[in-house]
Amino acid sequence: MASTSTRSVLLIVLAVALAVSDAQLQLSDTFYDATCPQAASIVQQKVNAFVDADRGLAAALMRLHFHDCFVRGCDGSVLLNSTDTMLTEKEALLNKGSLRGFEQIDEIKMELECACPGVVSCADILALVARDATAKVGGTSWPVFLGRKDGGASFADEVNSSLPERTDNFTQLVARFLYHMCSYRVRKQ
């Protein structure tokens, strides 16, 4: 019988393999080079200005991306507004009043729309913002593979079942991540 730590390592390897296979098939670090070459620099300049004005915003922007990715995959669905008949992720009990950075993402999107109308997805903006906010406060930077499609659906009731619990141990976190990664891949097909 495999130990808990061995199972955890195997789950992590599987999660990384799934993520890498998605990235290799669909995403590229040069995705906007021909259609909006200034996209990454626009995002970085805006993030730098926002974080200079409010250093605590860096963590909020990273958290916004995390909440987006853990529910329905990294598709920007956390940014969608509720309607009269449907509550979205933004309005879910776990998110309402605790997530911030929406106005900054809107401002970045507006600037990108002026530079390159209809080109850069909100999902990619969130990924770039998370990376740039992390780097701005001294964290490690990383290449962001781009080309994500924006999701067209967002449901508040999915938040509670998707986000990790604060009491989850490492094995539970990995299992939860794998479950949602695999179920997202099935929904996508």
Helix (H, G, I), strand (E, B) or coil at 146: strand
DSSP 17-33: HHHHHHHHHH-BTTTTT
What average pLDDT does the chain have? 84
For residue 44, being part of any structural domain is answered with yes
Residues with active-site annotation: 67
Who has greater pLDDT, 95 or 107?
107
For residue 9, being part of any structural domain is answered with no
For residue 41, being part of any structural domain is answered with yes
pLDDT at 135 over 50: yes
For residue 8, being part of any structural domain is answered with no
pLDDT at 95 over 50: yes
Please report where in the chains the tokens 């809107």 appear, as a residue: 106
For residue 43, being part of any structural domain is answered with yes
In which domain, by residue range, is 99 found? 29-186
For residue 13, being part of any structural domain is answered with no
Sign of the C-alpha dihedral computed for residues 121, 141, 8 and 64 taken in this order? negative
Domain harbouring 102, CATH code: 1.10.520.10
Kindly report the pTM of this predicted structure. Answer: 0.79
Tokens representing 104? 């900054």
For residue 152, being part of any structural domain is answered with yes
- pLDDT at res. 5: 56
pLDDT at 121 over 90: yes
| Binding residue ranges for Ca(2+) | 68, 71, 73, 75, 77, 89
Q: How confident is the model at residue 113 (pLDDT cuts 50, 70, 90)?
A: very high
Rounded distance, CA 128 to CA 148, Å? Answer: 11
For residue 23, being part of any structural domain is answered with no
SS (H, E, C) the chain: CCCHHHHHHHHHHHHHHHHHHHHHHHCECCCCCCCCCCHHHHHHHHHHHHHHHCCCHHHHHHHHHHHHHHCCCCCCHHHCCCCCCCCCHHHCCCCCCCCCCHHHHHHHHHHHHHHCCCCCCHHHHHHHHHHHHHHHCCCCCCCCCECCCCCCCCCCHHHHHHCCCCCCCHHHHHHHHHHHHHHHHHHHC
- pLDDT at res. 9: 52
| Binding residue ranges | 68, 71, 73, 75, 77, 89, 164
- pLDDT at res. 73: 81
User: Residue 115 burial by CB count (10 A; 0-12/13-18/19+): exposed, middle or buried?
Assistant: middle
| Binding residue ranges for substrate | 164
pLDDT at 111 over 70: yes
Element (H, E) at 144: none
- pLDDT at res. 8: 54
Report how many domains make up the chain. Answer: 1
Predicted confidence (pLDDT) per residue in 22-72, tens digit? 444 588 999 999 999 999 999 999 999 999 999 999 999 999 998 898 888
- pLDDT at res. 23: 46
